[in-house]
Amino acid sequence: MMEPSNEAAAAALDAARDFAARHVVDAAASFELERRYPAELVPLAGKAGLLGLMAPVEDGGRGLGLGDTAMVAQVLAAADMGLAFSLKVHANFSASLARVGSPDQRKRYLADMLAGRRIGAFLLTEPDVGSDATSITTSARRTASGWVLSGEKAWITNGVAAGLMQVFAQTDPAQGWRGIASFLVEGDAPGVERLPAYGLLGGYGAGVCGIRLNDVAVGEDALFLAPGEAFKGAMRGINIARVGVAAMCCGMMESSLDHALGAVAGRSAFGQPIGDFQGVQWMLADASTDLEATRLLTRAAAAAFDAGQDAVVACAHAKKFAARAAGKAISDCMQVMGARGIRLDDGHPLARHLAAARLTHWLDGATEIQNVVIARALMRPRRVAP
């Protein structure tokens, strides 16, 4: 892991390590075994200052850049990726609210979001749309007093307990992505219907479900991002999230490698320590190389974003490589541990990490979408030197 860029970032990392050690490491297996979302941990994360990592200091956040925020995500995911993703989605929403919310929206919601009294959710994906966010069909219809939202959203992280939702809806289908706006909707608003939680192996800590909007009426003051701005805001948020996912893969890989090294050091087979077998050593060496490569791609993407550069392709590279590398590295770490590597109840997180690594292929754009982003950049017309 790279060094934090300043004292504020170092303090955030210390807070993340303490929060994970106190509240997550020993409890994380229960999220899977009991199939539950640990909503009780969100206010504790708020108390630790983990829900406003990129929000300005003057608003009660930590004012971190994406690079430092990614390191916090790595620490949390080493304990449990599902919960880490849940907290990251919430923190990104808090930062967006602080950055572009109206004065009334900030006054009404920001303190509760930073403290975890309200849990935030990002409602973009739909059941029949998937990664094609330009084709959403949830509608926003104008009324004399505001808007009426109708439609169904899917794959909503924090959805099972969300107290504040950013809902993306189409105001004018003829305008395509330019017609999409986003609205702030409270979780208990009339017409908000939470669908059953997903049975999500490796991701119960993320509290994922679908949400149906049955003619939900909101005032004009609920408009968060106007048509023409909402889709661009969503894509900015997705780039931040892709770096976060890559960092979480680093956390899971590092955790798996540490556990595997401890396991092979303490076991013998055929008269010698398992760690002395060259085949075992090489599998762990490959996992270490993939971890280092993922770290470097993640750092590069975060640095480009923090520098204000066009980081779309860098974020796609990092997320794509991380998802692929994590699956193989964690699987190899499990293999050298023998059959105990697959157990959920044996005091190590590798089985959870492997399931979560598979989930990362779809979070914030499927791996194939990353290939689309990268291929488009490759195929752009190039200037030919005279």
- Per residue of the chain (386 residues), what is the pLDDT tens digit? 578 889 999 999 999 999 999 999 999 999 999 999 999 999 999 999 999 999 999 999 999 999 999 999 999 999 999 999 999 999 999 999 999 999 999 999 999 999 999 999 999 999 987 777 788 999 999 999 999 999 999 999 999 999 999 999 999 999 999 999 999 999 999 999 999 999 998 999 999 999 999 999 999 999 999 999 999 999 999 999 999 999 999 999 999 999 999 988 878 777 787 877 888 999 999 999 999 999 999 999 999 999 999 999 999 999 999 999 999 999 999 999 888 878 877 778 999 999 999 999 999 888 999 999 999 999 988 765 55
Architecture of domain 122-227: Beta Barrel (2.40)
pLDDT of residue 285: 97
Kindly report whether the global pTM for this prediction surpasses the value 0.85. yes
- Check residue 133 and give its pLDDT: 79
Q: Which two tokens stand for residue 297?
A: 């791609």
Task: Name the residue ranges covered by the structural domains of the chain.
Answer: 7-118, 122-227, 231-378
What would the pLDDT profile of 141-154 be if each residue is shown by its tens digit? 999 999 999 999 99
Its sign, for the CA torsion 258, 89, 63, 57, is negative
Helix, coil or strand: residue 230: helix
Residue 270: what pLDDT? Answer: 79
Tokens of residue 95, six digits:
């930062």
pLDDT digits (tens, 9 = 90+) for 86-129: 999 999 999 999 999 999 999 999 999 999 999 999 999 999 87
Report pLDDT for 383.
65
pLDDT of residue 266: 76
3 state SS of 320 = helix
Domain 7-118: give its CATH architecture: Orthogonal Bundle (1.10)
Between 230-265 and 312-336, two packed helices, what is the crossing angle to 10 degrees?
20
CB 333 within 8 A of CB 259: yes
The third-level CATH classification (topology) of the domain covering 231-378 is: Butyryl-CoA Dehydrogenase, subunit A; domain 3 (1.20.140)
Domains 7-118 and 231-378 in one fold: no
Taking the C-alpha atoms of residue 315 and residue 235, their distance in angstroms, rounded to an integer, is 11
The confidence score (pLDDT) of residue 333 equals 96
Q: Tell me the DSSP string of 277-302.
A: SHHHHHHHHHHHHHHHHHHHHHHHHH
